[in-house]
Structure 1
């Protein structure tokens, strides 16, 4: 263990005991740019509180993105170091051999993404309809998987590439018949639509999806202690939510912080959080996630994207793009 790592452990203990304590000796040593998406999940709370900065000692710039494809492009260009993506853009990036590692599975997507439609009561009525979704996203992957399950030719549906804010605007104008998208936009659309399928349904049909944090290999190699601290803070936020989900109610400080960073309504936050299964730090490194099944899920997603012509080739092994190391190291830290 390096001196820098020991410093992280020692200072983090002080930070958690006194949240307002600053780290002048460490602050600004390293610049870290994090690309996040306005998705309702527990780590929005330490983001709002500045806990990531306090624990890692890094000077963090938070950059907001509306889709995983944009996050991947930013990581590829070197403009961000850590990014939040869905399993589909993650698989596409790995298939193109972008140098990164998956360090934390944010959540297994269930009802947080869905296909919401109007004027459609059954799948076969989708032919000729305008359905929007962000391309190469988990929602896009789930839409294609659902169409395959229903034996519907994707070419018979007019699938439009729109980001969530664009989907919300198009829906209000009446320009589209439906959308496969995620919360909080999904919550608004569902008020005047019918849900034809959720990502929980699609998972049962053989297309499970998840969100994850990834890090550039270069940054991870140069600053392993910061990456470990990032994973620890994220894991602790999940542990807090899992231990007392009812306390994260609409009137809680947690709900207010999440709403502020995502644009969701405070009263919707508790229900939106229930749209995911949030794995614990201990589960992260296990065989069910980063220690095994996440690699299989990425390979499965890549095979489907190849079949759909969304990537030029699939790799024989995706293990280099998924690492349980960071969760294992983070689990050793005690504050």
Structure 2
């Protein structure tokens, strides 16, 4: 074989390998950020239903807080992410190129403020001078500030410490903090040696409701509308399965095991944690109460509160461009088609 022909073959192989690598990268380019929140769609995630529905390889990355997810989405490293309403409002206020595609959960008792046994905290007024841990710019941070305001407690008179959920658990065990506002699995662990002071269900009745949402980078959604629709469809169908018969859902040990594996929550706590939030169906998602209007108002109200607390620099005149109803509408249509095809 001549040197020229050998060089040509090597070059051709290099080009082929390059194309293969490029194709492989494209095929694996969808990166989705999830958190350890206990919710029904974790079962679909564990079963690979998202990959099956989209025909796309997905790299699932676990994050501990919404602020970390926002940073990853803003950098372009993550295309779709799970965040709370507070970091979402903060991100929209910074005018990041994102949009809300699904309200994942209307948070109730699944997030709570717990005070450590022996901390000397028997009532809200006792929080003054104490150390309270919370992931900053999270839904629990927002709820904590709203609770303090409701109780008439100056947040500056409380030592609020920024810790991630795993760090909260460790600090709690060392006795470094007096209280924490967090979600599971950290919530379940600190409850073992603590007392509930309030939850996000109660804080919501005081005028500060919180929710979790799935967001997408706007450029990704524009180029991949079918992927986003299928992602929303699978999530919505998982919620519908739970809502149809919650008792049967948690009675299925396989469902519980899958949720435990992805979240780290205790199996015994899963039924209560699922019951601690409301998971809207696709029909509810598109209603005026949620993506059809209510979610925009909620983001606006949250942003105003965060501005008041000095957590964001400005409040936008309109948050409508950060909420999209078209993806749930496309998902509902795809879901109907899937049901018809299965008949």
- TM-score w.r.t. structure 1 length? 0.91
Runs (4 or more) in structure 1 with deviation over 3 Å come to 27-30
Q: Distance in 1 between matches of 2:147 and 2:266?
A: 29
> Secondary structure of 2:250's partner?
coil
1:116-167 Cα shifts (integer Å, max 9, x gaps): 0032111111011000000000000000000000110001000000000000
User: Per-residue deviation at 1:30?
Assistant: 6.2
Cα deviation digits, residues 259-293 of structure 1 (max 9, x gap): 00000112221111011011111000110100000
Partner of residue 146, structure 1: 147
Partner SS, residue 287 of structure 2: coil
Could you tell me whether the CA contact under 8 Å between 1:303 and 1:314 is conserved in 2? yes
> CA deviation digits over 1:279-327, x for unaligned, max 9?
1110001101000000000000000000001011110000000011111
Matches within 5 A, 1:115-126: 115-118=113-116, 119-126=120-127
1:186 is paired with a residue whose SS is helix
Q: Is the 8 A contact 2:136 2:162 kept in 1?
A: yes
Written as runs of structure 1 = structure 2, the 5 A alignment for 1:65-76 is: 65-76=63-74
Q: Does the Cα contact within 8 Å between 1:28 and 1:58 map onto a contact in 2?
A: no
Match of 1:133 in 2: 134
Equivalent residue pairs, number? 310
Q: How many angstroms does 1:29 deviate by?
A: 4.3
Could you tell me whether the CA contact under 8 Å between 1:84 and 1:211 is conserved in 2? yes
Corresponding residue for 2:107? 109
Q: Which residue of 1 aligns with 2:56?
A: 58
Structure 2: distance between partners of 1:104 and 1:38: 17
Partner of 1:152, secondary structure, is: coil
Give the structure with the larger helix fraction: 2
Give 1:271's aligned residue: 272
Separation in 2, partners of 1:225, 1:91: 26
Residue segments in structure 2 that go unaligned for 5+ positions in a row: 1-24, 339-343
Aligned equivalent of 2:45: 47
Q: What's the CA shift for 1:113? A: 0.6
1:250·1:267 contact (CA, 8 Å) conserved in 2? no
* 1:209-268 Cα distance to aligned partner (Å, 9 max, x none): 000000000100000000000000000000111111111226521111000000011222
Alignment of 1:173-252 (within 5 A): 173-249=174-250, 252=253
Tell me which residue corresponds to 2:30: 32
Q: 1:28 to 1:267 in 2, by over 3 A?
A: farther
Query: 8 Å contact 2:133–2:168 — kept in the other structure?
Result: yes
Shift of 1:188: 1.6
Asked if 2 retains the 8 angstrom alpha-carbon contact of 1:287 and 1:293, the reply is: yes
Residue 32 of structure 1 and its aligned partner are, at CA, apart by 0.7
Residue in structure 1 matched with residue 167 of structure 2 by the alignment: 166
Normalised to the residue count of structure 2, the TM-score between the two structures is 0.88
CA distance in 1, matches of 2:333, 2:110: 31
Moved more, 247-256 or 38-47: 247-256
Q: Report if the CA contact (8 A) 2:106-2:211 is conserved.
A: yes
Q: Unaligned stretches of 5+ in structure 1?
A: 1-26
Match of 2:77 in 1: 79
* Counterpart contact for 2:28–2:59, Cα < 8 Å: no
Kept in 1, the 8 Å contact 2:229–2:328? The answer is: yes
Distance of 1:30 and 1:192 partners within structure 2: 43
Cα distance change of structure 1 residues 326 and 251 upon mapping to structure 2, 3 Å threshold: closer
Q: Deviations over 1:96-130 (max 9, x none)?
A: 00011100001110000111003211111101100
Greater Rg, structure 1 or structure 2? 2
Matched residues in 2 for 1:308 and 1:31: separation? 38
Q: Is the contact between residue 87 and residue 210 of structure 1 (CA under 8 Å) also seen in structure 2? A: yes
